[in-house]
Amino acid sequence: MGLYKMQRTLGAPVSFTGQGVHSGKTVNLIIHPAPPNFGIRFRRVDLPAKPMVAGNFNRVVDTSLATVIGENGCIVSTVEHLMAALSGLSIDNALMEVDEYELPIMDGSAAVFTRAIREKGIVRQEAPRFYFVILKPILLENRDKSVCLYPDERRIISCTIEFDHPAIGRQSYELEIDDDRFESEISGARTFGFMHELELLKFYGLARGGSLENAVAIDENGVVNEEGLRWPDEFVRHKILDCIGDFSLLGLPILGRICLYKSGHNFNHEFLKTFFKKKKHWKTATIETMDATAVCR
């Protein structure tokens, strides 16, 4: 059920090489195991002194096109898919070494990261895993967008999206997070965009690495990619992928039900601000100290 008593890390380092979706630059990424209570951190090995940035909510500096974290002038961009892979696999501690400011986009999903990490194995560590246990609902609404958190004894995410385009329309999906379901149902859902938006981004020098190899593109007639979609509802599955990555920036997994309606990176981040203002609505606890009846491993 995706609940673990103890912290976890990778069994061995794993390497990737790919392009940054906005920079178009080739980037090398190595994910290393890390000790208990280390958390998720990124090291820019291309910069003097090799500075590190923590993958935490209070390090987010931009959410306009992707989730960007930074500290003291050092940034790491487009972290959401890798963060989703780590969170979806319940990995608490890892060090990412990267030689550019933007992570590789790979195929536009988290599948490459997820498969490689699972192939290396996931190791149980001798330190208890803490959770944010939701005690009372937390709600953020703005016009037609909303994010809600409700108490639950499981890790649940549900999402609904609506786009005025026949290729998407209204889609809903719900997931109880565990390693297998995350890999099989969510990790392979690719980022998507409309052709006119991509052309505009390229005009302004962005999306230089964007292509049909790493995104689902949509024009007025439908999906442009020759291979089509991986699922009929791949769009909402990718929104869940993004949400898992964004919410992982809280620093601890949430024990509760996340419900999203037409939310994206920026609104998710606004909700995280609200979350920390509602300290009476949650507590931190380990499996041993919380009143949970779920079967834990």
Q: Spell out the residues 6+ positions from residue 48 whose beta carbon is closer than 8 angstroms to its own.
A: none
Q: Is 222 helix (H, G, I), strand (E, B) or coil?
A: strand
d(C-alpha 281, C-alpha 13), whole Å: 38
CB 157 within 8 A of CB 175: yes
Nearby residues of 32 by Cβ (< 8 Å), 6 or more positions away: 10, 13, 94, 95, 96, 97
Three-class SS of residue 226?
A: coil
DSSP for residue 115: H
Residue whose pair of structure tokens reads 């003291």 in the numeric block: 72
DSSP codes of every residue in 181-220: HIIIIITTPPPEEEHHHHHHHHHTT--TT--TTSSEEEET
Measured on CA atoms in the order 80, 86, 88, 91, is the torsion positive or negative?
negative
Which is nearest to 35 in space by CA: 91, 105, 73, 80? 91
By annotation, the residues acting in catalysis are: 265
Q: Where are the beta strands (DSSP E) in the chain?
A: 6-10, 14-19, 26-33, 40-44, 52-54, 60-62, 68-71, 74-77, 94-98, 122-128, 130-134, 138-142, 145-150, 155-163, 169-176, 192-194, 216-219, 222-223, 254-261, 282-286
d(C-alpha 280, C-alpha 46), whole Å: 42
